[in-house]
A and B are shown apart, each in its own frame.
Chain A
Amino acid sequence: MSVVTRIEGQPIALSVHGLSFAYSEETPLFERLDFNIRQGEFVSILAASGIGKTTLFRLLAGLLAPQAGTIAIGAEGETAAAASKLGKIGYMPQKDCLMPWRTVLENATLGLEIGGTMKREARRQVLDLLPGLGLEGTENKYPHELSGGMRQRVSFLRSLLGGGELFLLDEPFSALDAMTRMSMQEWLLRIWEEHRKTILFITHDVDEALFLSDRVLVAAKSPISTLTELTINLSRPRSYEVTMDEAFIGLKRQLLGHIGRGAVDFEGGRT
């Protein structure tokens, strides 16, 4: 087994090699898929619904086992299952998945609790982070008292504290209205620039992928065997203004070309 641990001198956060997977008796979703993510990188995978994005995340989070190939996480190149046991993966599912019987504070400490952090210490860590995430004063509220955007922030905070090296975000903003989504995207960029964690972000929204990422990986057809890469060399920090720039439009044109417009019907792509 050959595990890549560095690309161009930069340490690797995730290395997928020869990955194949199919649900039993169904056509395969992935065939000998390869890709790497560097540490501290923000990478989006852009694909249409139903092509296997969520399955990919379940594989990366160790909830499913690959039928062939390897998934190596972090510098030590652990398997997905082992890394997730060690709390090295922060998984943020599509739904916020907050526990209705727990307050914001108790929800956010879930990952730390499972990792064995003392309750008081876990609470202190959450309380320190709440203001920066725009959640100040909500610690004793229950999820049903929060707006959709705020629930997603709590969910993100929980993943942030629950996992160490690699963050998997599965269309976290797809259920939000357009205005909230925009502000959440800017919010996520601000948090990411502050913490510089490695993020792998799944989306079917072209603008979202372009706006957030260092690189966009496009999965155009099923089964996914190659991902077309597009480097987004827009300067950071970015604000939503950038989406009106010539450079952004140019990249978008390029990206839509990769997808092969018409071949796949994209949802939610704003123009």
Chain B
Amino acid sequence: MRRNVMAYVPALSFVLLLFFMWEAGTRVFHIPHYIIPKLSDVLISMWENGMLLKKHFVITLGEALLGLGISALFGSLAAVWIDSSSFANKTIYPLIVASQTIPIIALSPIMVMWFGYEIWSKVAVVILFTFFPIAVNTAAGFRSADPDIGELMQTMGASKRDLFFKWKFPSALPGFFTGLKMAAAISVGGATLGEWLGGENGLGMYTKRASNMLRGEAVFSGVLLLSAMGILLFLAVQWLESLSLAHRRSKKTI
């Protein structure tokens, strides 16, 4: 654990340095607050609007988590299907990959038409962003399962069930978590975009409204919080991963 904390020290120091340069730069060069506000002003604005920001934070986080959860469930189910059926492997899988050439942002307004201005249109945009990395990486995880282990299990008389739960599933877990980490990082972006397209709540809406009013410090406080949310989600997935992949943890300690 101590080792883990130590690993973050250089990056954190660098971030602090950047913050310092931000504060110093805006003061020395007299940069207008609607271009780059002073960090201290951003922090003050964050403090003053604490209750409001907390409410919006929770709403955006909820959208991102809900979308992530649904993507994780259906993304991994899709991967199981792609792996177990050569039909799905030949038809669905290329389609999922090809679907990435569709600009997701262009599709997002459709989600608003279908699901309205409530939370579900934002969740739908998050799913649009996060389904692909989870499905594709989990499918790659299934594919990486060592066929020799499968054959060995067959000589032991393994059933299909045994093969899935003792061989395929554990082999796919690292891929699933790779996908989930990527998805966690972009889920906040999806939720923000969903809020821009319409709605009353959330940090995305807050930053957009603040930017319309040229309130730089409010925009930046929203952006900082959204970044923090992305990092938090990513770290949460990493923590889950370390819990379920115990052998990887032991690898680090050698």
Contacts and interface: CB of A to CB of B under 8 A. Distances in A.
Nearest to A168: B155
Contact of B155 (A62, A99, A144): A62
B154 interface: yes
Nearest to B151: A63
Interface in A95-129: 95, 97, 99-103, 110-111, 113-115
Majority DSSP secondary structure for residues of B touching A: helix
A175 to B, nearest CB: 13
A139 to B, nearest CB: 14
Interface string B160-202: 0010001100100100000000000000000000000000000
Interface stretch (A4-12, A80-88, A178-186): A80-88
A91 interface: yes
B11 interface: no
Interface stretch (B14-22, B232-240, B246-254): B246-254
Interface of B: 146, 148-149, 151-159, 162, 166-167, 170, 173, 245-247, 250-251, 254
29 contacts: A58-B151, A61-B155, A62-B155, A63-B151, A84-B155, A84-B156, A85-B157, A87-B156, A87-B157, A93-B148, A95-B148, A97-B152, A101-B173, A101-B246, A101-B247, A102-B170, A102-B247, A110-B156, A110-B166, A111-B156, A114-B159, A114-B162, A114-B166, A142-B247, A142-B250, A142-B251, A144-B247, A144-B250, A145-B250
A144 B251 contact: yes
A63 B155 contact: yes
Contacts of B170: 99, 101-102
B162 A93 contact: no
A52 B147 CA distance: 19
Interface residues of A, number: 28
Interface of A: 58, 61-63, 84-87, 89, 91, 93, 95, 97, 99-103, 110-111, 113-115, 142, 144-145, 162-163
A89 B152 CA distance: 11
A145 B254 contact: yes
Of the listed residues A86, A91, A93, A99, the one surrounded by the most CB atoms of chain B closer than 10 A to its CB is A99
A-B complex: 6 closest residue pairs judged by Cβ atoms = A91-B155, A142-B247, A61-B155, A85-B157, A111-B156, A162-B156
Nearest to A161: B156
Interface core residue of B155, B156, B166, B246 (most chain A CB under 10 Å): B155
Contacts of B166: 99, 110, 113-114
A98 to B, nearest CB: 8
Contacts of B251: 142, 144
A66 to B, nearest CB: 16
A100 B167 CA distance: 11
B153 A110 contact: yes
